[in-house]
């Protein structure tokens, strides 16, 4: 099985689905991670260019801990993600063509910031574009409509899961991967007075309460033609 997880910023996947990604790896799946934005505006003191480099390094370290086969970075500047930017749609389509996933996990299509929502739509558009033979330039077209699962929002706000993944055995690896994003964990504590590691653990515990396990992550499927399937795609 091949899994493609597409997040907006480096650390978004760790927050919402790293336990699930690690569980996929433990079950023998090939997991690929892709970040659309470079995270260059995610600090009040570190300047954008050096921050983008720092966050790319953090993302690679995190991907190694999770066991991802490859970590892609499309390098779009924060606040500039747009579902209609042809070059970015094509770049995302090329990632889909290269990975040829059985399932894609990405942001919910309603979220607290524009970059997340635009990333969700980019995944929808790019995975469709990947199927169009005459739009394929660098990679051979991938002729399947890939099922999409939307991952939880930050703190679970305005998101009601229809599917849960038990990550009780993966929670510590999830948090270890998240801790790789030192620039963000430190900034959240200093700037917002939030212990981000504890916050993410608490959110996973909350989802666990909902489904009768210790820790869980929540998802819901994209339910449009022809994205549905009878296959069990979550671990």
Judge whether 52 lies within some domain: yes
Residues 6+ apart with CB under 8 A from 86: none
DSSP state of 134: G
Round to the nearest angstrom and report the end-to-end CA distance of the chain: 11
CATH number of the domain that residue 21 is part of: 3.40.50.10320
Pairing relationship of beta strands 70-76 and 2-7 according to DSSP bridges = unpaired
Judge whether 213 lies within some domain: yes
Judge whether 25 lies within some domain: yes
43-50 contact pairs (CB < 8 A, 24+): 43/183, 43/187, 44/187, 44/191, 46/183, 48/77
Judge whether 73 lies within some domain: yes
CB atoms within 10 A of CB 105: 28
Beta-bridge mates of residue 164:
218
Q: CA dihedral defined by 61, 171, 216, 235, rounded to 10 degrees?
A: 60
Q: What is the distance, to the nearest Å, from the Cα of residue 101 to the centroid of all Cα atoms in its chain?
A: 14
Judge whether 226 lies within some domain: no
pTM above 0.95, yes or no: yes
Host domain of residue 212: 2-221
- As for how many domains the chain has, the answer is 1
Q: pLDDT tens, position by position, for the chain (235 residues)?
A: 999 999 999 999 999 999 999 999 999 999 999 999 999 998 888 999 999 999 999 999 999 999 999 999 999 999 999 999 999 999 999 999 999 999 999 999 999 999 999 999 999 999 999 999 887 667 888 888 999 999 999 999 999 999 999 999 999 999 999 999 999 999 889 888 999 999 999 999 999 999 999 999 999 999 999 999 999 999 9
């Amino acid at each position: 099985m091949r899994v493609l997880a597409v997040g907006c910023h480096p650390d978004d996947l760790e927050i919402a689905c790293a336990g699930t990604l690690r569980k996929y790896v433990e079950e023998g799946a090939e997991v690929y991670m892709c970040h659309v934005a470079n995270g260059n505006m995610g600090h009040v003191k570190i300047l954008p260019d050096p921050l983008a480099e720092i966050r790319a390094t953090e993302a690679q370290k995190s991907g190694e801990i999770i066991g991802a086969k490859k970590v892609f970075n499309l390098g779009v500047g924060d606040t500039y993600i747009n579902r209609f930017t042809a070059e970015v749609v094509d770049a995302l389509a090329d990632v889909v063509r290269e990975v040829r996933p059985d399932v894609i996990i990405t942001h919910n299509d309603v979220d607290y910031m524009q970059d997340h929502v635009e990333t969700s739509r980019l995944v929808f558009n790019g995975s469709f574009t990947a199927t169009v033979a005459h739009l394929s330039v660098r990679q051979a077209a991938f002729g399947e409509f890939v099922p999409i699962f939307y991952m939880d929002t930050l703190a679970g706000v305005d998101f009601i899961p229809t599917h849960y993944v038990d990550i009780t055995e993966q929670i510590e690896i999830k948090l270890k991967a998240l801790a790789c994003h030192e620039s963000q964990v430190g900034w959240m504590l200093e700037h917002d007075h939030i212990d981000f590691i504890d916050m993410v653990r608490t959110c996973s515990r909350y989802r666990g309460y909902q489904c009768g396990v210790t820790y869980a992550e929540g998802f819901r499927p994209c339910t449009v033609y022809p994205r549905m399937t009878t296959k069990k795609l979550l671990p």
